[in-house]
A and B are shown apart, each in its own frame.
Chain A
Amino acid sequence: MRDDRLRRGDYPLKPVSNKQRTWLRWGCSASLASAGILGVASGCADSEDTLTSVEDAAVVPPASEPDANASADGVDAGDASDATDCDASDQHCNQVVVTCADTDWCPTKSSVDVRYSLAAIWGSSATDIWAVGSAGTVLHYDGNAWTLDSPFTPATLRAIGGTSATNLWAVTTIDGIFHRTLDDAGVASWQKAPPAITTATLSVYSPLRGVWAAGNDVVVAGDLVTIRPTGFGKPSSYYQTWQTTSDGAAWVSIPGADTLSMNGIWGTELSQLWIVGNSTARGGVAFRRNAVDGGVYSGDAGDAGLPGWTETDVQTAQRLNAVWGSGPNDIWVVGGFGTIRHFDGAGWQIVESPTTDELNAVWGSGPDDVWAAGDYGTILHFDGATWRSTSTAWPLGQKPHLYGIWGSAPNDVWAVGQEGTLVHFAGKFVDAGAAQ
């Protein structure tokens, strides 16, 4: 479960001085001695305000003297909490100054206010990448630099997806769906789309957490929507065929099931969609869109003759946060407590995970190159055989939660998260088997 959160970014990073680092290492050595003597009872080592743990002692490089001025390698000194927020024995903490030369992932200065999180990231290519988040933050990368758009909503934009820079969707609530497109003058701008439900009042505030688009189709997903004053139980996803003229564009509900909070959508086309989330009754859920075969629906037909969803057994009680696949027979989902599941075309398998931290996002370039990002700076990589932790040149202090991950290629991957965090992988693994 999550520890106390970071304080808001009022505290500048104070690089630990050379003297202080020396004494930290003394402390680590002493704890090594004590833990060895006490054997199994590592009570001395792991108590909160006593000694550093053996694991941390191993991480401290005994000989090298890292740079005191960490910002030289692109690590932004301003983007971290006070190092005292974090306990030396806590794996969620970074107590050692490391540079990008020594890690797989490298932080990038994003110019996003440290008071805001980036909640999602998606791109159409290496030179057109979009990240969105708290307080309507919209950040764009053109291959050269990251620049901020003017916010058009005070709400948290929770998901972003599309087909291009001029067919781009960002969502926060039923009545908070925004579409970037070309206006009549051929200028690209963000416009507010009609709400996914128009008949109700309270339901327009219902949050959306997933968006997906392909061709002229858009699907958004979120919580169960309660309609007042009458009726309950509208399903959690809505679909629209986007026409070039606004006439005729309307959201249609895709029937789901019971009390669901849906978080992620992935698929190659509208007839091959997966949607994942959480059921308060049974935990993690994964639905596959019923296939359409020459006009004949298999499975339930939904509203307006649209195919509905079929639930699959994803074998977890933990909520599922994200889904991605390289094809219909190679699909990954991730979720709470480090949960990872894989679908091979026949069914879901339980996959061993190297972490119990919550995993929030998953993306890959192919069956042998898949990434997952999650709480406390967790970034995992799958190489076709196993999932391993990867390393990041975090600033000192508690590592930020990561909420989104996307790449254009195996050597160009971005992850985003709390406090405007933006980190990049350029294709080089520092140590084939190492974890931080």
Chain B
Amino acid sequence: MLRTFARRGVPIAIVTCALLATAFTGCADAVIVAEGPDRADAASDAPTTSTFTPPPASDGGSSSAEPEALPPMCILTECPEPWATCGASYKCGVNLSNDPKNCGACGVVCPTSVGPLHVGSTCAGGSCQYDCTPPASDGSAVYRNCDGFIENGCEVNIQADANNCGACGNKCADGLRCVLGQCGCPTGTTDCNGKCVDLLNDPSNCSACGNACSQTVAPDGGTLPAAPANMKYTCQAGQCGALVCNYPYQDCDHDRSNGCEANTQSDVNNCAVCGNVCAPGKICAPDGASNPGISRCICDFGTLCGGGTTGQNTQCADLQTDINNCGSCLNKCPGQNIPNSRPTCDQGVCGIECVDGFGDCDGNPANGCETNLTMDGSNCGTCGNQCDLGAGQPCIEGKCAMTDCDGGITH
């Protein structure tokens, strides 16, 4: 904080340092126990998790300003809201406002989601809130409680229920299915045996449900010649017998005799589309976890990892930062299973760091970053930093808790 003040301006630093001298001389060596639950005034809320607050600059910060007097600060020994001590937790280690196992009070558990009922609950503001589980990621299911009874949960899937299609109570006309929340198939598609298809372009339902295009028999009954390389016959404008390229091949040289000769997934001269030439040194490959994905011109030479016989997806990896390709392809940084730790890859070298709020204070590699620095009174904020445990001072959010001293009387 001081450093920040130094950057913001000299005067604030002066004031702060003088303030500190004043503040801590007030609090010699006794412990002030803050009063209990009746702490309704706003001023008492501010200091609970910080050791001091800067005074407002009363005159724009001229260097001759007198430091304002602030109430002296003493250690706090009771739990500030919304924290509480529940069972064997750290002192004041439970947040009653959002802990689903202690919601509003110790031991009050918000029920976790019950799958068939599609209902879940979370703890917010100290009480359990019920809600339907989130929709499926592919849009195939959105749950609602249409009958108003929470006992049978969110019983309706409005994406597929013809009586509640898209919304509770929206009934589809007779014969129409509810497809992704709409009655009937979307415009331009036809319901063929429970599936919405485009009769103009579907090789299995070409201009009529069930009419599959053949690779050998023409629509007029004649024989189809063998398709050129990487081509096939399909349905176009409602007619079978149309020749198209097999993805990812394209006919980039417009020479039908060699069919669709360019593999747009890997051809550096036709990468993803005909004529897209990659810059020298780049590779044409799918980039990302999806395989096959859309190819792009990626990678400087040599940092394309995976693919081929490695059993891993092809991927352009940044060898300097990728924890699964750190310094070299497929070099996975260790530490993915160590408690409260995560692996790092920095400048192409693996490392391990503790997740936020945790530290390795005991040097035992088996338990990783075992210490919770946000609430451990013996290691508060950093290893070895001990709060006044004898007086019961808790560690709140990584700081030994402080509060105002009792009204005007300093000990």
Which of A30, A40, A51 is in CB contact (< 8 Å) with B386?
A40
Query: A183-191, A200-208, A297-305: which lies at the B interface?
Result: A200-208
The reply to whether the CB of B300 lies closer than 8 angstroms to some CB of chain A is yes
**How far apart are the CA atoms of A47 and B308 in the complex, in Å?**
52
- Of B20, B25, B334, most buried by chain A (CB within 10 Å of CB) is B20
The reply to whether the CB of B393 lies closer than 8 angstroms to some CB of chain A is yes
Q: A2-B351, A4-B353 are in contact. Are A135 and B320 (CB under 8 A)?
A: yes
B344–A2 touching, CB < 8 Å: yes
Residue of A nearest to B383 (CB): A356
Contacts of A52 in B (CB 8 A): 2
Q: A3-B353, A261-B334, A283-B365 are in contact. Are A23 and B14 (CB under 8 A)?
A: yes
**How far apart are the CA atoms of A63 and B308 in the complex, in Å?**
66
B2–A51 touching, CB < 8 Å: yes
**How far apart are the CA atoms of A31 and B4 in the complex, in Å?**
16
Which of A41, A49, A261, A419 is in CB contact (< 8 Å) with B387?
A41
Residue of A nearest to B300 (CB): A154
A24–B354 touching, CB < 8 Å: no
Q: Mark A13-35, 1 if CB is under 8 A from B, else 0.
A: 00000011001101101110110
B349–A119 touching, CB < 8 Å: yes
Which of B1, B320, B393 is in CB contact (< 8 Å) with A115?
B320
Q: Mark A83-110, 1 if CB is under 8 A from B, else 0.
A: 1100011000000000000000000000
Q: Mark B28-61, 1 if CB is under 8 A from A, else 0.
A: 1100000000000000000000111000000000
Residue of B nearest to A47 (CB): B399
The reply to whether the CB of A392 lies closer than 8 angstroms to some CB of chain B is no
**How far apart are the CA atoms of A6 and B346 in the complex, in Å?**
9
Contacts of B346 in A (CB 8 A): 5-6, 117, 418
Residue of B nearest to A134 (CB): B348
A156–B387 touching, CB < 8 Å: no
Which of B7, B28, B300 is in CB contact (< 8 Å) with A37?
B28
**How far apart are the CA atoms of A27 and B324 in the complex, in Å?**
43
**How far apart are the CA atoms of A50 and B51 in the complex, in Å?**
8
Q: Mark B231-268, 1 if CB is under 8 A from A, else 0.
A: 00000000000000000000000000000000000000
Residue of A nearest to B328 (CB): A155
B330–A154 touching, CB < 8 Å: no
The reply to whether the CB of A228 lies closer than 8 angstroms to some CB of chain B is yes
The reply to whether the CB of B160 lies closer than 8 angstroms to some CB of chain A is no
A40–B388 touching, CB < 8 Å: yes
The reply to whether the CB of A130 lies closer than 8 angstroms to some CB of chain B is no
B302–A154 touching, CB < 8 Å: yes
A37–B381 touching, CB < 8 Å: no
A50–B24 touching, CB < 8 Å: no
In the complex, how many residue pairs between chain A and chain B have their CB atoms under 8 Å apart?
A: 202
B348–A50 touching, CB < 8 Å: no
The reply to whether the CB of A44 lies closer than 8 angstroms to some CB of chain B is yes
Which residues of B, 308-363, contact A by the 8 Å Cβ criterion? 308-311, 319-320, 326-331, 334, 341, 344, 346-349, 351-354, 359-360, 363
The reply to whether the CB of B75 lies closer than 8 angstroms to some CB of chain A is yes
A418–B347 touching, CB < 8 Å: yes
The reply to whether the CB of A346 lies closer than 8 angstroms to some CB of chain B is no
A156–B319 touching, CB < 8 Å: yes
Interface size class of B (residues with CB under 8 A): 35 or more
A43–B385 touching, CB < 8 Å: yes
Q: A207-B331, A336-B365 are in contact. Are A30 and B353 (CB under 8 A)?
A: no
Q: A117-B346, A172-B328 are in contact. Are A23 and B10 (CB under 8 A)?
A: yes
Q: A40-B386, A319-B365, A337-B363 are in contact. Are A47 and B348 (CB under 8 A)?
A: no
Which residues of B, 7-24, contact A by the 8 Å Cβ criterion? 7, 10, 13-14, 16-17, 20-21, 23-24
Residue of B nearest to A39 (CB): B29
The reply to whether the CB of B380 lies closer than 8 angstroms to some CB of chain A is yes
The reply to whether the CB of A308 lies closer than 8 angstroms to some CB of chain B is no
A19–B319 touching, CB < 8 Å: no
B399–A207 touching, CB < 8 Å: no
Contacts of B5 in A (CB 8 A): 23
B18 vs chain A, min Cβ distance (A): 8
A314 vs chain B, min Cβ distance (A): 14
A49–B353 touching, CB < 8 Å: no
A88–B386 touching, CB < 8 Å: no
A117–B348 touching, CB < 8 Å: yes
Contacts of A30 in B (CB 8 A): 17, 20-21
A155–B14 touching, CB < 8 Å: no
A1–B341 touching, CB < 8 Å: yes
Q: Mark A134-153, 1 if CB is under 8 A from B, else 0.
A: 11000000000000000001
Contacts of A317 in B (CB 8 A): 364-366
Which of A27, A172, A403 is in CB contact (< 8 Å) with B13?
A27
Q: Mark A44-68, 1 if CB is under 8 A from B, else 0.
A: 1011111110000000000000000
**How far apart are the CA atoms of A153 and B320 in the complex, in Å?**
13
**How far apart are the CA atoms of A34 and B21 in the complex, in Å?**
7
A41–B330 touching, CB < 8 Å: no
Contacts of B28 in A (CB 8 A): 37
Contacts of A172 in B (CB 8 A): 327-328
The reply to whether the CB of A167 lies closer than 8 angstroms to some CB of chain B is no
**How far apart are the CA atoms of A88 and B344 in the complex, in Å?**
24
A220 vs chain B, min Cβ distance (A): 14
Q: A23-B2, A261-B334 are in contact. Are A41 and B386 (CB under 8 A)?
A: yes
Contacts of B349 in A (CB 8 A): 117, 119, 134, 156, 401, 403, 418
Chain A residues with CB under 8 Å of chain B are: 1-6, 8, 19-20, 23-24, 26-27, 29-31, 33-34, 37-44, 46-52, 83-84, 88-89, 115-117, 119, 133-135, 153-156, 158, 172-173, 176, 201-202, 205, 207, 228, 261, 283, 317-319, 336-337, 356, 401, 403, 418-419
Q: Return 6 A-B CB contacts under 8 Å, by A number.
A: A31-B20, A88-B3, A173-B329, A176-B328, A205-B310, A418-B346
Chain B residues with CB under 8 Å of chain A are: 1-7, 10, 13-14, 16-17, 20-21, 23-25, 27-29, 50-52, 75, 300-303, 308-311, 319-320, 326-331, 334, 341, 344, 346-349, 351-354, 359-360, 363-366, 368-369, 380-382, 385-388, 393, 398-400, 402
Given contacts A27-B6, A50-B399, could you give 14 more A-B pairs where the C-beta distance is less than 8 Å? A20-B6, A37-B28, A41-B388, A47-B380, A50-B51, A84-B3, A88-B3, A115-B320, A117-B348, A134-B347, A154-B300, A155-B328, A205-B328, A337-B365
